[in-house]
Structure formats: C-alpha cells, structure tokens
Structure 1
Amino acid sequence: MSREPLAPVTSIKVKLGLLVVASAAVAATVAVVGEIGGVPLWLSIPVTILLALAVTQLLAVGMTAPLRQMTEAARRMATGDYAVRVADGGGDEVGELARAFNTMARDLDAVDRQRRELVANVSHELRTPLAGLCAVLENLADGVGPADPAALRVALDQAERLSALVEDLLDLARVDAGKAPLDPERVALRTLLADAVREAEGLGRPVSYAVAIDPTDLEVEADPARLHQLVANLLDNASRHSPAGASVRVTARRHGARVRLEILDSGPGVEQQDRDRVFEPFGTLSATEGGGGTGLGLAIARWVTDLHGGTIGFVNPEPGEPGGRVRVELPLTQADGARRTPAADPANRPVSPQERTKEMPVPAATPPPAAPTPPSAPVDVAPRPILDDVFGEFWPDRTSARLPILLGALAVGVLGGLVLPFHDLGLGTTLVLLAAGAVVLTASRRRTDPYTLVCAGLCALLAATASVRAAEWITVLCLLAGAALCVSAVTGARSLLGFVLSGLAWPLAGLRGVPWLGRTLATLTGLGRGAALLRTGVLSILALIVFGALFASADALLAEWIDAVIPDLTMDTFVLRAFVTVAVGGAVLAAAYVALNPPRVERDGRRSRPVAQRYEWLAPVLVVDAVFAAFLLAQATVVFGGHDYLLRTTGITYADYVHQGFGQLTVATALTLLVVGVAARKARRDSAADRAWLRAALGLLCVQTLVVVASALYRMDVYQDAYGFTRLRLLVDVFEGWLGVLVLAVLAAGVTLRGAWLPRFAVITGVVALLGLASINPDAWVAERNLDRYADSGRVDSRYLSDLSADAVPVLDDAPPLIRQCALAGREPDTDSWLEWNLGRARATDALESDPVEPPAAGACPSY
C-alpha cells in the first residue's frame, strides 16, 4: 500500500488543492477551539502553526518523492550508473513522468551494457587471429620457420578471419545507421536455399543438410544478397553446433501472408532464458560456443530479418526432437515495393526482446518462453529529502529512528499539560523541566562531554529556582538562561556565532526534524505490534478511568487522594491542557532532535583573515583608548573638584550626574569587549612587534575599561543611596560586575594570545552570576536595603515594597509597624497544592499566619 495518503487522486493540481484546504481547515479549527477554550495567543499561534505543518507533511508524503528521486537518479546516471530506478506507483502526472524516466533508464542501461559487451567481445575476437598472425609473421621475420606456401596460408587464414570479422561489424554498423538499403525482387527459395546449402557444405563440416520446400515454387519478395546472408549465417550456426554425422534440417513453407523458414540442428539447443541474448552482438553462450564463430552471425541474421519486416527467434522443437530450432518469418511482399532503409521503415525500428518474444508464434503445446533475466537487478534510488537542499552542509540529517526519544518527549508534554496550566510556578514546574532535560541529555551525542555535564548541572540548578524563589522575574530569567545553555551544550558551541546559531537551531528543529519524526513514527507499524500497543494502551486507560471512578465514588479518602494527584480534567480545562501538551511536547522534541543531530554551528579550522597592515586595526583601537582616557580625566576632575565644582560647572547634582551616565558606561563596557574581539581577530601575530603592539593596545583598553566598570558600580551605589534600591538596579549591578569579570578574562587571554576558551567562560560565568543573584534572594535583598535606608534617612517607597514578591515577606515582617502594614496589607496566605509548592511562598505563608497584618490608615504610607 502506498505511503501517500492522496495516492488515489490522479491530478497533481487536485492534490495541491486538497493539501491547501486541509491545512487551512486544520489551522482554522485549532485556532477557533483555542479561542473558545481561552488559550492565550502566544500559545495558540505556535501550536496552530505546528499542527498545520504536521497535516501538510502527512498529506504531502510521497507527492514530490519521485521528482527528488529522479534528480538523484540523474546525478548517478551522469556518472555512468544506469541501473537506477525511481518509484512510479503514482497515478498523477508525476507518476507518469516517473514511469517514462524508468523506461529511459532501462533503455540506457541496455545500451550501455551492450556497448561494454561489444568493446569486450570485439577485443576478445580480434585478439586471437591477431596473436596467430603476429606469431607466424615473427617466425618468418626471425627465420625460425620457412617462408613456404603452408606458412603463408596460415597467415592468410588469420588475415581472412580478421577481414570477415571487420566486414560483419561493418554490416552491423550500416544496418544500425540506416545505410543498408534493400533491393527487393522476387526470389525463388528453392534456388536460394540450394546455393546456401552448397556454400555451407563447402566449409567441410561433417554434417548433412535436408531441405524441404512447400510449395516447391515458393517465392518471396526480398533482397537476394541480404536473404542469402541470413540463410548462410543460420546454416553456419547450425552446422557448428551439431555433432559429427548429424543432419541439419531446413524447411520453408507458406504461412498465411508470410513465409516461414525453420532450421533445426542436432546440437544441445538453447535454453529459454538465453534465446534472446544469442541474437545480440557477440551474444554466443559458453555452452554452445564452437570453433570459428565471431558471435556476430545471429546478430546479423536478426538485423536482416528486421530490415525485411520479419521476425526471428528460437522456438521449442517438436516433442522428441533434439537440438535448436530457429524460426524466421518474412512477408511475401514488401509493403512499398521499393528500396527501403531501417530509418524509413517502422518495421525496422529497434525491437525489444519482449516485443520479439511476443511477435514470435509458439506452438500451442509448448509453454511460452520465459522472460529474459536482466544482467543486473535495478537499484531503487532513495529520494533525496528536500530539507537536505534547504539546510545543506549546515545541518545534514544523519539520524535514525529513535522511538524512545519520541515517547519521552510525548510523556513530558503530557506531564506539562497536567501540571502547568492553572498552577503557579513551583515544584511541578521544576519536575517538568528536569524531565525535559533528562530526555534531551539522553538524546545528546555529547552527554559524556565534561562541558555538557557541567551545563546539565547548571540547568538543573536553574530549573530549581522555580521551586525556591517566588519572584517570577528572576525565575523567568533563570529558565531562559537554562534553555539557551541547554541548546548550546548539546551543539558544542564554542564561539559567539556558534551560540547564536544554537539558539536559532531550536525553533528551526521543528522543520528540520520532520523527516526524522516521520521515520520514527513509521517504526510503530514496522515493529509489527503497533496495533497491539495501541489497543493495550486504550484498554488500560479505559480500565483506569472506569474502576478509578467507581472506587473514588465509593471511598471519600481515596477520592481525596485522587484529587491531590490528578488535576482537574473537565472539558473546560481540556482545551488549554491539550494546547500546553502539544507546545511542551513539541519544544522538548525539537530540543531532543538538536541534541540527537546537532547542526554544524562551528567552522572548524577557519580563522578570520588578518588585515594587511598593522595600522588598519591599531588606529581605531588607539582612538578608543584616547576616548577612554578623556573620560577618566573627567572622572578625576570630578573627584578632586568635589560636588560643588560639579554643580557650578554642569548645574546638576552629583546624584543626577551619576544616574545620567550609568547606562552609557554599561553600553561602553559591552562595546569595548566587542572592539577587543574584532581587533584580536584582525591583527597579525607573525612578528614579535605585532604581538607586542596587540598586547599593549588592547591591554591598555582593558585596564581603562576596568576603571570604567568600577566607576559605573560606584555611580549606581551613589544613586541607590539617593533614590532607593530596586530589582532593575540590582540586576544592572550584577550585569556590570559580570562584564568586569569578562574584561579580566580578556586580560588573562591577552598574555598568551589564546582566547578560544573565552566564549564558554562567558556563558558559564554569566549563568553562575544569575544563580548567585537568585541565591541571595533578590527581592528580600532589595527590601532589606530599603529598610536600612529608611532607618538611616527616614525615606522609603512603601508602594514599591508592597509590589515585591513573597520572597520579601519574611524581611518585611520584621519592618517597623507602619512600614509592615503598608508593605504587607492585602496579602493572604497561599493555599498552594503540592504542584505549586514554592519555598518563598511557603515562608511567606508561615509569616503571615503567625502574625496577621492589619490595613494601615488612609494616606499613612510613605512613598518617597
């Protein structure tokens, strides 16, 4: 059965129309169901696109496979491989083209095989008489043998054999090229056969000939010379394959509008599977080869027969008769009665062995001849996947079906659909993330690589933040960092470009992994027990639902346990859970495919071409050095001049001054790392002077950048003392500190001028910095710093404190009474299920339950 769902459709246009209609209908249906079920757009749109692509892939299977097969087959045929075949089972225009292509491939295969056999056989046939002739002439030239008539006769015989072989080849060439015209006239078969037998008897072979003609005055319109050549070749073949003292029987009789000529020898005969090959040039068989044959006699006989519009072939002898029986049938008269060539006569077109077998009448008492055995079995060409041309060498498909990976991703998707909807981030989220990471790590080819194992450990810690911290902003940052780290680890990225391409590979895997997904799904039926597995699963689920519902309704305690373990699966929640299942399962499956078949994100052994002259990179770097020096000079002026000097000069306070330039300094620090990276790639390192200038220029820039980092951190500290502490300011502090660490790493790499380790170092230290930020409980830290500022200055923004997450509740619970009331008013203890359990919310619940908060008086809360 065809793998193509639309195989019964016999028009490619109709197929494409059905494909578009089906994909659009599925997309519209899924979108409407998602809207009715209240699925948010950010989740509904990707799931809709994913399902529409899946339907398109399902329906499009096999539609273009013959075209891709033909492309690959044409490439192989260009290299001389003509045994290729393509799938031709389709009933549409592509299927017709595939069948025509296979016909062409078979014809070319036959022609190529005949060409090779012709060269080999001609070489073989020429070698024997040439060797004999050369031996005789060498003996005569060296005086070994006398130059008597006997020796010359031997040389002449060999030369005549060569001449006969060449003449036969020329005859074949003339017939094949359409340059062998016929001069038809009335020919008396009695006279022609008598002359042919007399010539055959002159060969001296110990056989006799018996001729029978009915009627005796039978005539045929033919070319006498060509017809004589035909009969002479057949008699020569029969006499060579008959034993000594045997008889060769020749019969000619009228058969309707044709003349049937049969020649029966007493030899071993010809097997049915070989009866067509003996008429090919040099098609003699090892079992029937005799002395003196060139292998061209029967081939010429066939071409002469074709020239006259007749047929020739071996048929079964009469019962009890041994030997080979060749039958020739010729029309009594030529159709046009004039000179004819193969090019002008349709009857002289090349005829396939199957057609000749079909035309040759066979006695009813004998079975039809068997089809000839091809010299080599045709080779089916696997279609080249279209995505291989899209992704090319960047992402070749080297994977085999991996059913456990697919089932693992599906299980994680189902777990996500049950756990994530209608629940806050918590223990359930961590479990889903750890399960997803386990599937990806299992699929990864690099799971034993130390860097991959380190990244796996960091990803587990990042996933744990969902169960530890209630602040969603830090949790989301950790989860995004974990996703990026996971993908970069399984691809083996080592450079900035590699990390970017790794990030792009994850969404692209939804397209690149489609062929692999199809192969994996095919194994379900290929296992031979796909139906049994499906039946077992359905029966098990039904048994669980039926008996679980019965026992839950009979026992209240069991019902409570079931409610605690199994989430709400009512119809109102089913749609959203289904969307989440598809989204989570698809994301995990895409990441697993990236791990199983990572793209080539790194260019091995390639280095950026350095500039020709040193000034090309040195001048821009020195300009940046000068700008940094000017900035540092301004900073020194502010430090030594004091705040009053700054106010008189610029008209702004110091707090405003430090706030005004912090963002620019952060951007400048990041750009500096980019400048260092580009300069290091473009600078020459051939001489000691080149390396010294590189270290000096970039080292000075890094040292000045460290001063800028220190200035930026100092500015932020002053600004926080003046205006308070916030999450964003804390995050920027950490980011600026991480940039400083990278600058130190660049300085270390500059010592040896080897920095291939820097990109991975930057990723690992960035993740560690994020984990460090999560470990200090940032919301609690911000709350504590603001309370310290309130104790020192009496200023605090209680509204901002009230917006902090539950992580800050234990700290705010110890605040002065008014600030506690303002910051914790309206908060209620959480009643999370075990799937939502979170350490931060659990501690906040304990604090709120031990000492409930009274609401403050209106307008009593400070907000500055």
Structure 2
Amino acid sequence: MTSPLSRLASLKIKLGALVGLSVLVTAVVATIGASHGVEPWLVIPVSVAVALIVTQVLATGMTAPLREMTIAAGGMARGDYRVRVSATGADEVAVLARAFNEMAADLADVDRHRRDLVANVSHELRTPAAALRAVLENMVDGVTPADQAGLASVLAQSERLSDLVTDLLALSRLDAGITPLGTDDVVVRTLIDQAVADLALTGRGVPVEVQVTPADLTVRGEPTRLQQAVTNLIDNAMRHTGAGGAVRVRARREDEATQPRWVLDVADDGPGIAPQDRDRIFARFGTASEGGTGIGLAITRWVAEIHGGRVEAIDPEPGRGGARLRLDLPVTPPTRTRLQTLPQAPISLQGNEIIAKQGASVPAKPILTPSPAIPATTPTTRPPRDASPPVIDGIFGRLWPDRDTPGRPRLLLAALGVGLLAAVILPNRTGGLATTLVLLAGAATLIAAPQRRTPKTVVCAVLGVGLALIPTLRAAPWLIPLSLLAGAVVAVVGLTPARSLTALIGSAVSWPLAGLRGLPWLGRMLTPTHGRRVNWALARTIALSAVLLLVYGALFASADAVMAHWISLLMPNLSIDSAVARAFVFAAVAGIVLAGVYIATNPIADAALTLPPGRPARHTWEWTAPTGIVIATYVAFIAAQASAWFGGHGYVERATGLTYAEYVHQGFGQLVVATALTLGVVGFASRRAPRGDSGDRLRLRLILGTLCLLTLLVAGSALWRMNLYQEAYGFTAPRLVVDTFEIWVAAVVLMVMAAGIRLHGRWIPRAAALTGAGLVLALGLMNPDAWVANRNLDLAATSGKFDADYLAGLSADAVPTLIARLPDSRARCVIGASSISRAPADDALEWNLGRSRARHTLAKAAWSQSDLVAACPSPASISRG
C-alpha cells in the first residue's frame, strides 16, 4: 500500500507532516467533542484512537523498504540474492532502496559468474589433466614408449593447462582493476604479423590472409593489450576453421567527422555464430562451442572498451559463411591510466539464456535505475509478509507477536454494527434495555471471535450474558459500572489463554493496548484482496444504500408533515450536539469491541507474562521466618479479638476509650487489606519453599495451611465487625460491596487451601476471577438497594431511628419495599424526595425492571403530586457514619 506522503521528497518533511497532521486531527476531534458537550472520558480515548489511525494511514510504506532491506540482507548472508525491496517514492529511503536493489543485482551477477567459473574451469581443466595423466600412466606402465612423440604429447597437454591458467590470471587482474594502460604508436601491419607468427607455432596450419589499408596504418594504443586482443581474435578464428579453410584479416582506417577510427575484421570459414549467440560469446565463460574457456573474447572486449572502442560479431562477408568479428577502435584512444572497474554487459532475459547487450558496458559509478532482469532460474522475489513486520512489532517484541494474524472482515463489520447500534440507542437514555442490547451484541461478537469452544468459554459466555442483563433488571446506577468491570474480567478470561495471575493482569491491560497493537491487523483487513472482494462489495453496497436512505428520507420528511412524524418516531435526535455525541459513542464502542476481537484472535503471549518458577531457598528459615512473623501477628490479633469478645463493651471502653461501635468501625478497612495481602505472602512462600522431599512438602502444607486458617478467622472477624457497625449506624450499598469483596477474598483463601493438598494451583487465578464475577452477578440479582432498604427498616423498627434522607437516595429498586413497609405518611415523604417521582417516563429502549416495578407500585398507591410533596414529619435521624 502506497503512503499518502509518498510524493514528498524528504524523509524529514514526511515526518514533520506526519506529526503535524496527527496533532491537527487530534486537536480537531477533541475540540469538536468538547464544544458539543461530550464527556471528557469519551473524548480523550476517541481522540487518541483517531490520531493513531491517522498516523498508521499516513505512515504506511514509509519504513517498509528499511524492514525489507533488513530481511533481504539476512537472505544475502545465506546466499540468496533474489530478494528485491520496494522502491517507491522519492525520499532518502526510496533512493537507498533502489541502490540496494542495484547492489543485490550486482551481487547476484557476481555469484552467477562465480558458479560459472567453477563449472567452466572444472570442465576445461578436466580434459587436459585427464589426457596428461593417461599419457604419463602409459609411459610408466610401459604401454607407450617415452620417446620424442610421447613427450611432445605431454608437452602439448601441459601447454594447454598453462594457457588456461594464464587466462585465469589475466581475468583476475581485470577483476582487480590493476592493469595499467600506457599508449604508444602501434603499426597495425606489424601488430597483425606478430600475432600470426605467434599462432603459427601452435601448428594449426590454417592460412591467414592479411590486408591493411593504408599499408602503413599507424594508431595509438597500449601495444601489449592490442597484441593480446588481436591474437585472441585470430586464434578464435583459427580454432573454428577446418581443413581447406582460411582466416581473413582486414584492417582499415575510417575518418569520421567526430573522431578518426580504425577497424579490424577477422573472418573464418567455420560453422559461423548464430545471431542469438553473437553477444554472449564476449561474456565471461560465454563460449558458444566446445574447446574454449570463453575467457579470451571477454579479455578482447575489455581491451576494446578501455581503448574507447568495441568488439562485436557481425554478419559474414557477402557470399561466404563462417563468422566475422570486428574490432572498432579510435585512432587515438582516451587517456586512461588505471582501470576503475571491470566492464560487464547489462543482461536481459531471453528464454533461459543470459544475453549481453551489444556494445554496452557498466559504468564505474552505479546509476539508481530499476533493477536489471534476473535469470529465470533465480527469480526476483519480495520479502514474505511475516518477514517484514511493521514498526509496531518492534515496540511489543516477543511479548505480543503478530504472526500475520488473519483478518476477519465479518467480525470487523460486526464490531462496527455494535458501535452503530450503541450510537443510535444509547445517547440521551438512562441505563436499561438499550444498554443490555448493546452489551449482548458486543458479547455475541466476542463469543464468535475464538476459533473453538471450550467449557471455559461456555462458562464465561453464561456469566457475561447474566452481567449484561443487570442494567435492565436493576435501576441502581452504581451496579452498571461494577457489572461492566466484571464483564470485562470475564471476557479476558474467556478470550485469552492466560492462566497465571500476571498473565491475566497483562491480558486485561492488553485490551486497551490492542488499539495500538492491532493497527497492522486492521490495516490488513482494510486492504482489498481477491478473497474479500465479495465482503467489501457488500459493505460498499450497504454504505451506499444508507446514504441514499438518509438523502431521500430527509427530502420526503421536509416535503410532508406526516412523513416527518413517522420518521421522527423511528430516527433518533439528529441535532448537531447529538450527532457529535453519537459519533463519539460509535467510535468508542466499536473500538472496544474490535480490540476485544483482536485479543481473542491474537492474545498476548501467556508464557512471556508468566513468572518463571521460583528458585527454592537454600535455607528453610529464608521463607519460614517471614511467614512465621505474619502468623504471629495473626495470632496476636485473634487474641485481642477474643479478649474484646469475652470482655464485652466495658472492657473495650476501659482499654481504648472508644465505644464498641467506634471500635469495630476503626479496624474493618485494615482487616480487608490484611487478608488481601496474605495472598501475596502465600505466593511468596510457595515460590521460595523447597519441595524436594516429603518433609519439605509437609512443612509447606502445615505452615501455609495454618496461615490460611488464621486468614479465614480474620476475614470472619472483619465481616463480624462490619455487621456490628451496620447494626449501629445503618446499612448502605458501599458497605454491602465491601462485604462482598471480603467474602470473595475468603473464597480465594479456600481455593489456596484446596490447591495446597496437591501443591498445584495454576487454576486459582482463573477460578478467582470467575468467582468474583459470579459474586457481582449474585449481588445484582439479589436487588441490593431493596435489601439495604429492608435492613434499614428492620433497624428502624428496633431502634426507633429512621433516616429518610438516605432511603430517599436509594434507586427505584427500593421503591416497592419502601411503599410496602412504611406507613403512608412516611412513604409519601421518602418517595416524594426520591428521584423516581420526578423522573420522566421511560421509552421502549429505556425500559428497566426496577423502574417499571416502582412506577407500577406508585400507580397502585394512587398518590397525587401534592401528596408526594407534602411536608415530611420530623423523624429521628441516625448517622450513617
């Protein structure tokens, strides 16, 4: 995917534009939300999420070439030179990517030549070496006499080996670029005659016809190199000319307008060169026939190019067959004192052969152009997707890898649908059926995310559905955030494989972080692919249909009053403030559900968050001493409790100066904290205690079992203290919640004791989380406000004290209880002061069982508004502490 900033020519400018646009979008979104009355707790996360999405979109492809280069460099280190990186754009990264591709192509070419060298040289060395060995073995065995003819044969094979080694040394000098070029006057006729005379010693017996025009043609050049080039051309022609044939050498001067040149044509009567092979014969090891290394003509091409000319195969002479090679050089070559690089012919792909471009050479300095073609045997590839991770992968590392997590467009559409549902039915409504519908829709989307069902996911689904019903069943507003928190814990347990306490905490934290971690995953889903065309075509169709519905609905509503009335019944309030609020609700709810889907499909690594096994202490006292101190303090506290129990109120007042109610209230919070901290002490001891033999295990069970029993006693004492305090000062919903928390801590302690039997407790964190969620569900189902009202009315009946202010502050859940148990005068006083008497009627999506029952009970009482606002009697009031 191309970056929207790809047209910018500087990476600095891109980064500046990225930061500026992200900040601008964030500021605009936050300003719009704040100016239209959206709550800050909704504005801030949505603004941050929008900024992250904008950053992800704008930064797409900016650093992809760098990551691809890292992967490609690793492949090159292993000998794979096929990989090419993306090189779009015009910034520094794109320039580097093109240079990298050029380097990769050059390295691939060098590697191919290296393999060709091994293959060709092995082939060429094998023949003379085998022949030489055979002759020598025959001489040693007496099969062939060691006479002049035999020694001549040995000498011929050794000379062939020597020629091959000389060619290889010459090639190595060319590659090293160490051959100097010193020009001098060269007589062309003398140059050719010397080459013919040297080749006559080889005994080939092929006649050579020489013609030079003018006869005294003299040129400038490096004599040794020119001699080498001409000798190679004539030798090549003699090799391919059979008996009865001849080699024709023609040299002439051509005075061109730009630069005088001289041309040397060497023709033979051999089989000729096919047109498709004419360029290849000048490449290294590019021989088109048997019996040569393919190095001589490559050297000839190099000599021609350092003199500013070229060598090529041209059509045969008119009326003749065979091959004709032409050396075309300037009379006065350019001054070059040192070879900078070995010329190579750029390559192109024709069939399965590598063909050199005629007369071309590679310059000393690279030019950033698209990579040359690669042979069919080594095709160009791109780094695999999982080998080119996004930048975000570097932030989370191995803790939370994303191994190309497959996108699931249906779940994306479902999350967007939940967000749209929330935007339509939640704003401007109190908790009720609408809240439950959104929660159930979100829960259904999350339940569909895991790839397989397990008993754990079934239990979590049941708990989640029950918690989602709380906003519809109960009117107490404090129950909704508590049930949402418990539902989030249930979702984390059900969607992730986390088992340890640290892994569960990390998985819970990963939910909001999924908004950042899941951006690459979201980007992959939003990128159209062949397999998703149908889904996205459906999405586009739905979007287009929705737009047309809105346009035509608005037109017809403005044209007809009845139509407008019907639409108003179906459509929510679409004022500017309402539309902005709905947009924020849509983004928040859809983002939360989509983040949950991501942690279900790609949960954070459990092993990375789980603490390693504890190292057993070398000495027993290292863990028994701290644990023993805690046990001692528990024993002392229980003894103090026993003395207060048996000594009674008088002993407490004499010893502390506090009333008994003040005494029990003073320590409840500390006892709750102490029992919770004890779980940490148990965890420390279980990690440090050795378990090597039965004695160690028995000691661990006894000490931790004692500590857990004492903790249960303290938890019971805390609950007893709270009960005494509430009997004195009254019952409230927060105190009921604290009681529930202490019961949950006691349940976890019981789990620890059960795990101590087998010294295996990996199941405890999950069980504790689900137990806590179950207690929240039980708390909601028990109708806590009605329970609190009942207990306070019982207390008022025995003490004569009645707190109308607190009872009036209870939710509508308590109204049926209050009307049923209070006298009419007091009931009218309490209900008249409560919010239910002034609350507007609920619509269908706002329906709530608690409010519905309260209104039904009020309707049966048939109280008028004047009855509800009548002055209350002056009751005795009790403090709620």
TM-score strictly above 0.5:
yes
723, 743, 758: which one aligns with 1:752: 758
- Please state how far the C-alpha of 1:40 moved relative to its aligned partner: 1.4
Partner of 1:366: none
| Pair 1:833-2:843 in alignment | yes
C-alpha change, 1:198 and 1:701, in structure 2 (3 Å) is same
Of 631-640 and 119-128, deviating more is 119-128
C-alpha change, 1:90 and 1:372, in structure 2 (3 Å) is closer
CA distance in 2, matches of 1:787, 1:271: 112
- Please state how far the C-alpha of 1:215 moved relative to its aligned partner: 2.3
Partner of 2:499: 494
858, 861, 869: which one aligns with 1:855: 869
CA distance in 2, matches of 1:76, 1:164: 38
AA matched with 1:282: F
| Pair 1:544-2:545 in alignment | no
C-alpha change, 1:248 and 1:845, in structure 2 (3 Å) is farther
- Please state how far the C-alpha of 1:512 moved relative to its aligned partner: 1.2
Partner of 2:424: 418
**Structure 2: tracts of 5 or more residues without a match:** 349-355, 362-371
661, 665, 668: which one aligns with 2:667: 661
Partner of 1:212: 211
| Pair 1:185-2:184 in alignment | yes
- Please state how far the C-alpha of 1:521 moved relative to its aligned partner: 1.4
| Pair 1:771-2:777 in alignment | yes
AA matched with 2:514: A
- Please state how far the C-alpha of 1:805 moved relative to its aligned partner: 0.8
Of 602-611 and 787-796, deviating more is 602-611
683, 688, 699: which one aligns with 2:689: 683
- Please state how far the C-alpha of 1:296 moved relative to its aligned partner: 1.9
- Please state how far the C-alpha of 1:113 moved relative to its aligned partner: 2.5
| Pair 1:650-2:653 in alignment | no
C-alpha change, 1:360 and 1:77, in structure 2 (3 Å) is closer
- Please state how far the C-alpha of 1:763 moved relative to its aligned partner: 0.8
338, 342, 351: which one aligns with 2:338: 342
Offset from partner CA, 1:788-809 (integer Å, 9 cap, x none): 1112221232211111111111
- Please state how far the C-alpha of 1:322 moved relative to its aligned partner: 5.0
Offset from partner CA, 1:183-220 (integer Å, 9 cap, x none): 54333222332343454455455865443332232222
Q: Identity across aligned pairs (percent)? A: 51
- Please state how far the C-alpha of 1:520 moved relative to its aligned partner: 1.4
Partner of 1:470: 475
CA distance in 2, matches of 1:119, 1:328: 29
AA matched with 1:476: P
Partner of 1:451: 456
C-alpha change, 1:797 and 1:313, in structure 2 (3 Å) is farther
CA distance in 2, matches of 1:528, 1:263: 64
Determine if contact 1:342/1:349 at 8 Å carries over to the other structure.
no
- Please state how far the C-alpha of 1:700 moved relative to its aligned partner: 0.9
Partner of 1:364: none
C-alpha change, 1:815 and 1:555, in structure 2 (3 Å) is farther
Partner of 2:38: 39
CA distance in 2, matches of 1:703, 1:533: 62
Give the 5 Å matches for 1:783-862: 783-817=789-823, 818-826=825-833, 827-828=836-837, 830-851=840-861, 852=863, 854-858=868-872, 860-862=874-876
Coordinate RMSD, CA, aligned: 3.0
- Please state how far the C-alpha of 1:168 moved relative to its aligned partner: 1.5
- Please state how far the C-alpha of 1:787 moved relative to its aligned partner: 1.0
Offset from partner CA, 1:626-649 (integer Å, 9 cap, x none): 111111121222222222222211
CA distance in 1, matches of 2:64, 2:577: 43
Of 274-283 and 687-696, deviating more is 274-283
Give the 5 Å matches for 1:426-825: 426-445=432-451, 447-523=452-528, 536-537=541-542, 539-545=544-550, 548=553, 562-603=567-608, 606-817=612-823, 818-825=825-832
Of 740-749 and 598-607, deviating more is 598-607
C-alpha change, 1:650 and 1:833, in structure 2 (3 Å) is same
Offset from partner CA, 1:299-327 (integer Å, 9 cap, x none): 22233334434322334557876554433
CA distance in 2, matches of 1:408, 1:271: 66
CA distance in 1, matches of 2:2, 2:695: 68
Partner of 1:397: 402
Partner of 1:367: none
AA matched with 2:442: A
The secondary structure found in structure 2 opposite 1:523 is coil
C-alpha change, 1:155 and 1:358, in structure 2 (3 Å) is closer
C-alpha change, 1:316 and 1:831, in structure 2 (3 Å) is farther
CA distance in 2, matches of 1:310, 1:141: 52
CA distance in 1, matches of 2:162, 2:322: 31
Give the 5 Å matches for 1:297-376: 297-315=296-314, 322-336=321-335, 341-343=337-339, 350-353=343-346, 357=357, 359=359, 374=375, 376=378
- Please state how far the C-alpha of 1:470 moved relative to its aligned partner: 0.9
C-alpha change, 1:617 and 1:238, in structure 2 (3 Å) is farther
Partner of 1:12: 11
C-alpha change, 1:797 and 1:239, in structure 2 (3 Å) is farther
AA matched with 1:450: P
Offset from partner CA, 1:459-497 (integer Å, 9 cap, x none): 111111111111121221011111232133222111111
CA distance in 1, matches of 2:419, 2:566: 23
CA distance in 2, matches of 1:69, 1:833: 57
C-alpha change, 1:341 and 1:614, in structure 2 (3 Å) is farther
AA matched with 1:312: V
Determine if contact 1:250/1:261 at 8 Å carries over to the other structure.
yes
AA matched with 2:338: P
Partner of 1:68: 67
C-alpha change, 1:526 and 1:170, in structure 2 (3 Å) is same
230, 240, 262: which one aligns with 1:259: 262
- Please state how far the C-alpha of 1:243 moved relative to its aligned partner: 5.6
C-alpha change, 1:771 and 1:99, in structure 2 (3 Å) is same
The secondary structure found in structure 2 opposite 1:813 is helix
C-alpha change, 1:633 and 1:97, in structure 2 (3 Å) is same
C-alpha change, 1:520 and 1:535, in structure 2 (3 Å) is closer
CA distance in 1, matches of 2:322, 2:531: 52
C-alpha change, 1:786 and 1:117, in structure 2 (3 Å) is same
CA distance in 2, matches of 1:322, 1:295: 22
- Please state how far the C-alpha of 1:609 moved relative to its aligned partner: 2.7
Determine if contact 2:829/2:872 at 8 Å carries over to the other structure.
no
Offset from partner CA, 1:18-77 (integer Å, 9 cap, x none): 333322332222222212321111111222222222222222222222233333333333
Determine if contact 2:238/2:247 at 8 Å carries over to the other structure.
yes
Determine if contact 2:25/2:51 at 8 Å carries over to the other structure.
yes
- Please state how far the C-alpha of 1:758 moved relative to its aligned partner: 0.7
Partner of 2:352: none
CA distance in 1, matches of 2:552, 2:222: 95
C-alpha change, 1:841 and 1:652, in structure 2 (3 Å) is same
CA distance in 2, matches of 1:103, 1:802: 81
AA matched with 2:856: D
C-alpha change, 1:6 and 1:151, in structure 2 (3 Å) is same
Partner of 1:378: 380
